[in-house]
Chain A
Amino acid sequence: MIDQETLIPRRVLITGVAGAIGQVVSKHLSNRGHTVRGFDHHPVTNPTDHHVGNLRNRGALRAAVAGMETVIHLAAYRNDADFMQVLLEPNVIGLYEICEAAQLAGVQRLILASTMQVVNGFAERDEPLTIADGSRPTNHYALTKLWAEITGDMYARVHGLSVINVRIGWFPRDRIIAQRIVNSARGRDVYFSQADAERFFTRCVESPTPRSGECVTLFAASKPTHRPRFDLTAAEAAIGYVPQDQWPAGIPFSVADLIPDGGMPNVV
């Protein structure tokens, strides 16, 4: 689906760019010729155009969004935690602030990070889960991400944005997470490799669809090892994403020594 000849360079803001996914996506999009700006409360050197700020700081956020065509919103607290003390500010207020900033600045495409945890409540079954199955969050973190999906849908319909909600699979940002994936019965079936994350978010930026006013919610994972937990054909149909990796391909560190229930790995 990718036609290098007709690649249109985009101006892309990545929030949460200091995170594991943000860093690889930033580098990859830059290498493909896109203009990348970062936003994070941590300073980083990748990308070089980086705004340090908090999602609650409306002025800083709007300055970062100004002039951008595409926003990849990865910034969030990404685990279950106390709703009031931890989740409310980044995942609810921050979500609102980025959607408003995008809408007011005339951003055309908004890519919102969600999580596979929005379907945690579904029992095991033979058929992969599809978006049509609906959502079943079982904790407040996943609930805030479901709220984000619903919000993205509204901004597409009401403000004409092109919105992609990305239900991100299990991304091993370090060896501890990799060990958890190995320990888990379905971990390797919901694994999302670094290289596939680069592919997925590249397609989110470069795909002509969804069109203005449309919102699509997609699972983002690599190829399952045993049996698919998530339907990935919708992502291929909607944005042309085809996963290439299968556990443990696409991990930038060695996992060869990790065995199921092998205890805490050496983090080095």
Chain B
Amino acid sequence: MSQQTTEPKRVLVTGSTGAIGQPVCEHLLARGHYVRGFARRPTPGLTDYVEGDLNDRAKVYEAVDGMDTIIHLGAYPNPADFIDVLLQPNVVGAYYICEAAKDLGVKRLILASTLQTVTGHGDLDHPITVEDGPMPVNHYALTKVWNEVMGDMYARVHNLSVINVRIGWLPRNRGEAERLVQSGKGKNVFFSHDDAKLFHERCVESADPAPGECVTLFATSIPAEKARLDLELARQVIGYEPRDVWPQGLPFSVEGLE
């Protein structure tokens, strides 16, 4: 929980050119960690990156080799056709990441999931916890639930330390921020860029979960009005304390969107 940088880790960030991957890479570098990127194009700001597709087994293994932590953000991040769009990155790619992590001795595997895994829950009288179970309503969210149970299996069977991260609503740009504002409850599941840096920092530096353990956590900022998703478990397990409330912590202006 201490803010001082712990022992520097060797961290592979997949999806390193994405809206979360970019700030997370920069932040981990600034914290003194060694960071390698993996994406289909060069990762700005990194000297060490692998260019490739997640369904290219050899490229995935090349990227994972020598790393002790993986933050697996690479995926198709929206609902889409299962066979044509989702299958390769979100199923095959996730499988290769897990296999490479196991085969190459990775200690901690951080798998990006989504708040969409619980979209099917109606209005509850409590913030949704992991115990409430997944309720995906589309194949994108379904692939992420599949990833979560795969992460759990790799922890138990192969003694990895696994964190499944149900990522909140992180607006990549002004257009997405506008949709968040219009959605009504978007500000309660908002996840700021700065809090995303903090959350993944905690995922990398936290002593828990121990090897062989898997934990599934919601990752959002402080809800503006009413908490939709439980943050207590993330506080307990990895010491994550969100700092931002909508619209804090965004790298662009949202003036005029209200």
* A interface list, Cβ under 8 A from B: 83-84, 88, 92-93, 96, 121, 135-139, 143, 146-147, 150-151, 154, 157-158
Contacts and interface: CB of A to CB of B under 8 A. Distances in A.
A211 B133 CA distance: 21
B83 A154 contact: no
B92 A84 contact: yes
A146 B149 contact: yes
A92 B142 CA distance: 12
Contacts of A137: 149, 153
Contacts of B149: 135, 137, 143, 146-147, 150
Interface of B: 82-83, 87, 91-92, 95, 120, 134-139, 142, 145-146, 149-150, 153, 156-157
A187 B134 CA distance: 32
B122 to A, nearest CB: 11
B257 to A, nearest CB: 31
A88 B57 CA distance: 15
A158 B120 CA distance: 9
A93 B145 contact: no
B142 A154 contact: yes
A143 B148 CA distance: 11
A138 B145 contact: no
A154 B156 contact: no
A146 B152 CA distance: 12
Nearest to B145: A150
Given A92-B91, A146-B149, A158 B137 contact: yes
B95 A83 contact: yes
B146 A157 contact: no
A151 B156 contact: no
Contact of B82 (A96, A121, A138, A157): A96
A150 B83 contact: no
B110 to A, nearest CB: 19
A138 B153 contact: yes
Given A146-B149, A157-B120, A136 B156 contact: yes
B156 A150 contact: no
Contacts of B139: 96
B83 A96 contact: yes
26 contacts: A84-B92, A84-B95, A88-B92, A96-B82, A96-B83, A121-B153, A135-B149, A136-B153, A136-B156, A137-B149, A137-B153, A138-B153, A143-B150, A147-B149, A150-B136, A150-B145, A150-B149, A154-B120, A154-B136, A154-B137, A154-B142, A157-B120, A157-B135, A158-B120, A158-B137, A158-B138
A184 B87 CA distance: 37
B87 A143 contact: no
Contacts of A151: 142
A158 B79 CA distance: 14
Contacts of B83: 93, 96
A118 to B, nearest CB: 10
Contacts of A121: 153, 156-157
B60 to A, nearest CB: 12
List 4 A-B pairs, minimum CB-CB distance, nearest first. A147-B146, A158-B137, A138-B157, A96-B82
Contacts of A138: 153, 156-157
Nearest to B150: A143
A151 B83 CA distance: 15
Contacts of A93: 83, 87
Contacts of B134: 150
Contacts of B153: 121, 136-138, 143
A146 B150 CA distance: 10
Contacts of A147: 146, 149
Nearest to A136: B156
Contacts of B91: 88, 92
A154 B83 CA distance: 17
A150 B120 CA distance: 13
A138 B152 CA distance: 10
B92 A150 contact: no
A136 B95 CA distance: 17
A122 to B, nearest CB: 11
Q: Specify which of B137, B153, B156 lies most central, judged by the most chain A CB atoms within 10 Å of its CB.
A: B153
